[in-house]
């Protein structure tokens, strides 16, 4: 009886220890800054990709759709870009559909909630009434700002210009967010 | 349940008493049903013998019927049986009352240990999930040293192999051996073989510069990057033209530097 009791107590202590180390390990992993930073990076990248897709896409086949598209732009943006897009008037014209082909973060400040992202985007532009689309490739740089838990929005967006000045003007046009 | 040990006991005593009882009763039937009517019968018979010696003769004759007789005796036995059973029940009740407490005392630590073990396993598992998640294995930007290193090596490598003068295409090819490997090296070899004659004839100079480099993935010895390049080409004395190029580069750390093993245009 004594033996069994001692054995039982020993088993309990062991189980308690196991549970304790488990909790401690979990707490460590949970509070690990590097892991938190990794999660933040992946969230920012994924959010940035989807925001850029929205910002380079516009269905302008009708006025209502163009309006909805611009509302989506405003929802995907924040700060100066949002203000800038707010001035855009919906018009019927060429439509664009964007696909982010590759994206990477070049900087991330998890504490401040800011990130820089570069991305290559393929944009299929369909002129009004036309069936065939022309494909355009862009390289963009965006500044992301965290606006809430796991929510990042685009605060600034620009095309990365080629060094030579004569081509700069053309790529600069893509800055507006693919409404061309 | 309570009957079994009792009949067994009775059998024992019956066996002990058997010579006496057998002599007292002197009936062959007592032997008959005792053997034919199984152990229970034997127990009943001996019971009868001891409790009511006078009635044994009658019963002895009726014993041939067996079953009914046994029933009768067991009924009569029933009263005493119950008393004894009550006694036994009483003790059984106590032990039953004691047993839940004892069972609890035994079960509680087992349950606690089980809960603790399950909890511990859950915690360990959750921690492992956190640490082995894809985001945790990717060290892009989290390991700033390695991120800077791979960015620098790849940017510098691309600039070197995609910059050449007509007089010195060999230099580009030579440097490609220290920068490229695998599929990228083969691709580059094919490309250079195709354009080499043109390069020399048209006196084309190409200079390449990486303007943006972003590390998408960095896991140990392999990495994937997105690189924006500006390529300025000059044909003899004509004005230079600059074109943009976007590449996804796969790099591997070999020896002491990152080598480009695959290049894809974006």
Tens digits of residue pLDDT in A20-72: 999 999 998 888 888 889 999 999 999 999 999 999 999 988 889 999 999 99
Mean pLDDT, rounded, of chain B: 72
ipTM above 0.85, yes or no: no
> Considering only CB atoms, which chain A residues are within 8 Å of B131?
29, 32, 35
- Region of residue B204 (phi > 0: left; psi between -120 and 50: alpha; otherwise: beta): beta
> Considering only CB atoms, which chain A residues are within 8 Å of B120?
15, 18-23
List chain B domain ranges.
Answer: 3-92, 144-265
A6-10, A32-36, A155-159, B161-165 — which one is most confidently predicted on average? A155-159
Confidence of residue B74 (pLDDT cuts 50, 70, 90): very low
Is B246–A137 a contact, with Cβ atoms under 8 angstroms apart?
A: yes
Q: What is the dihedral of CA B50, B56, B59, B60, to 10 degrees?
A: 110
Least confident of A30-34, A88-92, B93-97: B93-97
> Considering only CB atoms, which chain B residues are within 8 Å of A105?
140-141, 214
Least confident of A68-72, A93-97, A144-148, B89-93: B89-93
Is B130–A164 a contact, with Cβ atoms under 8 angstroms apart?
A: no
**3-state SS assignment for residue B142:** coil
Output the CATH code of domain A32-176: 3.10.450
Confidence of residue B67 (pLDDT cuts 50, 70, 90): very low
Q: Rounded to an integer, what distance in angstroms lies between the CA atom of residue B217 and that of residue B222? A: 8
Is the pLDDT confidence value at B48 over 70?
no
Is the pLDDT confidence value at A5 over 90?
no
User: Closest approach of chain A CAs to the CA of B169, in angstroms?
Assistant: 24
Residues 55-94 of A with CB under 8 A from B: none
Looking at residue B133, its pLDDT comes to 83
Q: Using one digit for the tens of pLDDT, what is the confidence trace for A102-154? A: 999 999 998 999 999 999 999 999 988 888 889 999 999 999 999 988 899 99
**3-state SS assignment for residue B203:** coil
List chain A domain ranges.
Answer: 32-176
CB B1 within 8 A of CB B95: no
Looking at residue B29, its pLDDT comes to 45
A150: contact with B, CB 8 A cutoff: no
Looking at the DSSP assignment, which residues form a beta bridge with residue B241? Answer: B233
Looking at residue A20, its pLDDT comes to 92
Distances (CA, A) of B163 to A62, B105, B252: 48, 82, 22
Output the CATH code of domain B144-265: 3.10.450.230
Looking at residue B95, its pLDDT comes to 53
Q: Using one digit for the tens of pLDDT, what is the confidence trace for B142-196? A: 999 999 999 999 999 999 999 888 887 788 888 888 899 999 999 898 888 888 8
Confidence of residue B239 (pLDDT cuts 50, 70, 90): confident
B93-102, B103-112, B149-158 — which one is most confidently predicted on average? B149-158
Which element (helix H / strand E) includes A132? Answer: none
Query: What is the chain B residue with the closest CA to A19?
Result: B120
Is B142–A41 a contact, with Cβ atoms under 8 angstroms apart?
A: yes
Phi, psi of A113 (to 5 degrees): 75, 40
Residues 101-120 of B with CB under 8 A from A: 109-110, 112-114, 116-117, 119-120
Looking at residue B96, its pLDDT comes to 53
Confidence of residue B216 (pLDDT cuts 50, 70, 90): very high
Which residues, including other chains, have CB under 8 Å from residue B259's CB and lie 6 or more apart?
Answer: B157, B179, B180, B181, B182, B251, B252, B253
Distances (CA, A) of B1 to A13, A150, B101, B125: 40, 68, 23, 49
- Does B11 or A148 have the greater pLDDT score? A148
Nearest of B205, B223, B233 to residue B157 by alpha carbon: B223
């Amino acid at each position: 009886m004594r033996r069994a009791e001692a054995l039982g107590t020993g088993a309990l202590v062991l189980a308690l220890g196991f549970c304790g180390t488990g909790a401690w390990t979990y707490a460590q992993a949970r509070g690990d800054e590097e892991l938190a930073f990794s999660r933040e990076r992946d969230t920012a990248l994924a959010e940035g990709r989807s925001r850029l897709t929205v910002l380079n896409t516009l269905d302008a086949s009708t006025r209502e759709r163009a309006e909805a598209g611009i509302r989506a732009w405003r929802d995907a943006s924040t700060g100066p870009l949002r203000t800038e897009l707010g001035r855009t008037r919906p018009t019927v014209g060429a439509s664009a559909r964007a696909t982010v082909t590759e994206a990477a973060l070049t900087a991330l400040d998890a504490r401040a909630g800011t990130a820089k992202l570069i991305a290559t985007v393929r944009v299929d532009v369909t002129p009004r009434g036309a069936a065939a689309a022309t494909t355009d490739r862009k390289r963009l740089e965006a500044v992301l700002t965290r606006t809430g838990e796991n929510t990042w929005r685009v605060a600034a967006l620009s095309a990365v210009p080629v060094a030579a000045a004569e081509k700069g003007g053309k790529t600069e046009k893509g800055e507006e967010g693919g409404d061309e | 349940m309570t009957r079994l040990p009792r009949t067994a006991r009775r059998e024992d005593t019956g066996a002990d008493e058997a010579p006496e009882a057998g002599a007292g009763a002197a009936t062959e039937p007592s032997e008959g049903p005792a053997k034919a009517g199984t152990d229970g019968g034997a127990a009943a018979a001996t019971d009868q013998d001891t409790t009511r010696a006078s009635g044994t003769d009658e019963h002895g004759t009726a014993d041939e019927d067996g079953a009914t007789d046994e029933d009768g005796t067991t009924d009569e036995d029933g009263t005493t049986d119950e008393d004894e059973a009550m006694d036994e029940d009483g003790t059984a009740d106590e032990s039953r009352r004691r047993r839940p407490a004892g069972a609890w005392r035994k079960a509680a630590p087992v349950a606690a240990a089980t809960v603790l073990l399950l909890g511990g396993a859950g915690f360990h598992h959750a921690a492992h999930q956190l640490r082995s998640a894809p985001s945790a294995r990717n060290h892009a930007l989290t390991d700033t040293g390695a991120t800077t290193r791979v960015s620098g090596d790849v940017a510098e490598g691309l600039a070197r192999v995609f910059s050449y003068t007509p007089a010195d295409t060999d230099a580009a090819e030579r440097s490609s051996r220290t920068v490229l490997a695998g599929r990228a090296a083969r691709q580059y070899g094919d490309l250079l073989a195709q354009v080499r004659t043109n390069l020399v004839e048209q006196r084309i100079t190409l200079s390449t510069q990486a303007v943006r480099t972003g590390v998408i993935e960095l896991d140990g010895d392999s990495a994937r990057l997105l690189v924006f390049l500006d390529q300025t080409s000059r044909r003899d004395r004509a004005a230079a033209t600059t074109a943009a190029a976007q590449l996804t580069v796969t790099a591997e750390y070999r020896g002491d530097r990152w080598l480009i093993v695959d290049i894809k245009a974006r």
